[in-house]
C-alpha cells in the first residue's frame, strides 16, 4: 500500500512526506506516537482562547529564501522581531548582551569606556562568543567578560544544560554571543515571521496530500519489525520493500547497541492571568533567579487581542526515558564523548540503504526550524 514510511510528523518528516507525495506521486505513511502533528512546533488554543505553543516558544527566522518561499505555500506570515530581556541585578536588560545592556548596567563613564574598547577590538556590528571574549587580557574587557559570564551566561547555561559552559560543545555556547551593536533584536535574519494562523496549520497543509496517510498515537515498533542486521522491514507482518525515513532517536532505533545518547528534557508550567499583559517583553530570561530559565507570554508573540494572557515557565531537566515527566528528549547533549558515540551509530546506519535518518534526534545535532526544512529539502533532492 505504501512506497515510503516516515516515522515522525515534525518538520523533517512532514516536509519529506509532502515532497514525495506531490513530486513523485508516491504513497506515504507518516507515523507519530503523539496525538498530534507538528512535533515540538505544535500549537493550539488553550481553554482561555489564547494560541499557545505546547512545547515552548518557536520563532521562525531565516536568511534562506528557498526555505521561506517553500513554507509560504502553506501559510501567510506576520512580521515579528523577537526581543528578549534578562533579569540581572534587579532590572531587565536586553539579551543577547549588547551595547544597550552596558548602558543600563554601568555608570556612563565606565559604559563609554567599555563601548570604545569593544568597538576598537572587534568592530561595530560584530558578534563575539562569550568564551572568546573571556580570553581578552585588557583589564576592562576582562572585567566586562567576567561580568557577562557570571551574571548572564554561566548560571543560565548551568540550568539549561546541567553543566558549565566549558563542558559543552562550542557550537552551543556560540549560539548566544555578545553583540557589539545597539540592535536589541534577538535575531538578525532577513526573514523574521510568525505563521499567520499558527504552526499547526502549516503541518496540516504539508500533510494534506491524498498520497499521505497519517497514523497518530502509534509507536512505530508496534506495527513494524526491523531486522537490525539486514535492514529488512515488515509492516503489519507483511514485507515492506520501500524506503523508511526515521526522525526519532537513532540510539533507540538501534536498541542502544552502542549505549544511550544523552538528551536534555523540559517541563512547562502554563498559567493564565486575568490581565491584558504580564511582562514587558515576549520572553524574559532569569539566568540567576528561580529554577526556571525563562517566561514567555504568548500574546506578545502572536499579537492576539484578549482580556487575559497565558504564560509558560520552562524548567530544564535531565532526560529519563523511564519517567513520564522527563521522557521527552528536546536537545541532544553535546559533549565530546557523546558525539563520538553518535558517530558509531551514524557509521552503523550507513549500511542500510533502505533507511534514512534525518532530524535533531536522528542526527544528534541542533537544528533550527529553517535548518531542518532545508535539510529535508536537500535530502529529498539528493536521495529520492
Q: Say if residue 348's pLDDT is above 80.
A: yes
Task: Say yes or no to pLDDT of 338 above 90.
Answer: no
Interatomic CA distance for residues 58 and 3, integer angstroms? 32
Start-to-end Cα distance in the chain: 18
CB-CB contact of 210 with 26 (8 Å): no
Q: Is the per-residue pLDDT at 166 higher than 80?
A: no
Q: Residue 171's pLDDT is what?
A: 66
Model-level pTM? 0.94
Average pLDDT over residues 205-228: 96
% the chain with pLDDT above 70:
98
**Homologous superfamily (CATH) for 4-37+207-262+333-383:** NAD(P)-binding Rossmann-like Domain (3.40.50.720)
pLDDT digit string, tens, across residues 24-75: 999 999 999 999 999 999 999 999 999 999 999 999 999 999 999 999 999 9
How many CA atoms, within 13 angstroms, populate the side-chain half-sphere of residue 96?
21
Which H helix or E strand runs over 310?
Answer: strand 309-318
pLDDT bin (cut points 50, 70, 90) of residue 349 is: very high
Residues in the chain: 384
Listed by start position, the domains of the chain span 4-37+207-262+333-383, 84-179
User: Is the model's pLDDT at 174 over the cut of 90?
Assistant: no
Strand duo 60-62 + 51-53: pairing? unpaired
pLDDT of residue 344: 96
The share of the chain scoring above pLDDT 90, in percent, equals 87
pLDDT confidence band for 175 (50 / 70 / 90) = low
Distances (CA, A) of 315 to 160, 264, 307, 318: 8, 11, 27, 10
Mean pLDDT of 83-98: 96
Query: What's residue 157's pLDDT?
Result: 87
Mean pLDDT within 319-334:
90
Give 370-384 pLDDT, tens digit per residue. 999 999 999 999 988
- For the segment 97-120, the average pLDDT, to the nearest whole number, is 97
Burial of 360 (0-12, 13-18, 19+ CB in 10 A): buried
**Per-residue pLDDT at 61:** 98
Cα 243 to Cα 346: distance, rounded to the nearest angstrom: 18
What backbone torsions phi and psi does residue 90 show, to the nearest 5 degrees?
80, 5
Mean of pLDDT values over 218-230: 93
Confidence of residue 161 (pLDDT cuts 50, 70, 90): confident
190: pLDDT strictly greater than 80: yes
Amino acid at each position: 500500500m505504501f512506497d515510503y514510511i516516515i516515522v515522525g510528523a515534525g518538520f523533517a518528516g512532514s516536509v519529506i512526506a509532502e515532497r514525495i507525495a506531490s513530486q513523485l506521486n508516491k504513497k506515504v505513511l507518516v507515523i507519530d506516537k503523539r496525538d498530534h502533528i507538528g512535533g515540538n512546533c505544535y500549537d493550539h488554543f488553550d481553554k482561555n482562547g489564547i494560541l499557545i505553543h505546547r512545547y515552548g516558544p518557536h520563532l521562525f527566522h531565516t536568511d534562506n529564501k528557498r526555505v521561506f518561499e517553500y513554507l509560504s505555500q502553506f501559510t501567510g506570515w506576520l512580521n515579528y522581531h523577537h526581543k528578549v530581556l534578562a533579569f540581572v541585578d534587579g532590572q531587565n536588560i536586553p539579551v543577547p548582551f549588547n551595547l544597550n545592556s552596558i548602558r543600563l548596567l554601568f555608570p556612563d563613564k565606565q559604559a563609554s569606556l567599555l563601548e570604545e574598547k569593544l568597538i576598537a577590538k572587534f568592530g561595530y556590528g560584530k558578534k563575539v562568543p562569550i568564551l572568546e571574549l573571556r580570553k581578552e587580557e585588557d583589564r576592562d574587557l576582562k572585567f566586562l567578560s567576567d561580568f557577562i559570564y557570571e551574571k548572564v551566561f554561566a548560571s543560565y547555561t548551568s540550568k539549561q544544560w546541567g553543566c558549565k559552559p566549558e563542558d559543552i560543545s562550542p557550537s552551543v555556547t556560540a549560539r548566544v554571543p555578545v553583540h557589539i551593536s545597539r540592535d536589541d533584536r534577538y535575531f538578525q535574519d532577513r526573514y523574521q515571521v510568525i505563521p499567520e494562523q499558527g504552526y499547526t496549520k502549516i503541518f496540516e497543509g504539508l500533510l494534506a496530500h491524498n498520497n499521505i496517510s497519517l497514523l497518530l498515537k502509534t509507536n512505530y515498533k508496534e506495527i513494524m519489525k526491523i531486522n537490525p542486521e539486514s535492514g529488512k522491514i515488515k509492516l503489519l507482518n507483511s514485507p515492506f520493500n520501500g524506503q523508511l525515513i526515521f526522525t526519532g532517536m537513532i540510539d533507540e532505533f538501534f536498541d542502544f547497541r552502542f549505549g544511550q545518547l544523552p538528551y536534555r528534557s523540559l517541563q512547562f508550567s502554563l498559567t493564565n492571568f486575568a490581565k491584558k499583559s504580564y511582562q514587558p517583553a515576549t520572553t524574559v530570561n532569569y539566568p540567576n533567579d528561580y529554577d526556571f530559565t525563562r517566561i514567555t507570554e504568548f500574546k506578545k508573540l502572536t499579537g492576539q487581542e484578549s482580556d487575559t494572557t497565558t504564560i509558560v515557565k520552562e524548567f530544564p531537566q535531565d532526560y529519563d526515558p523511564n519517567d513520564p515527566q522527563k521522557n521527552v528528549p528536546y536537545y541532544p547533549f553535546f559533549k565530546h564523548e557523546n558525539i563520538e558515540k553518535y558517530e558509531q551509530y551514524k557509521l552503523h546506519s550507513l549500511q542500510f540503504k533502505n533507511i534514512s535518518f534525518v532530524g535533531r534526534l536522528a542526527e544528534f545535532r541542533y537544528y533550527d526550524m529553517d535548518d531542518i526544512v532545508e535539510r529535508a529539502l536537500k535530502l529529498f533532492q539528493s536521495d529520492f
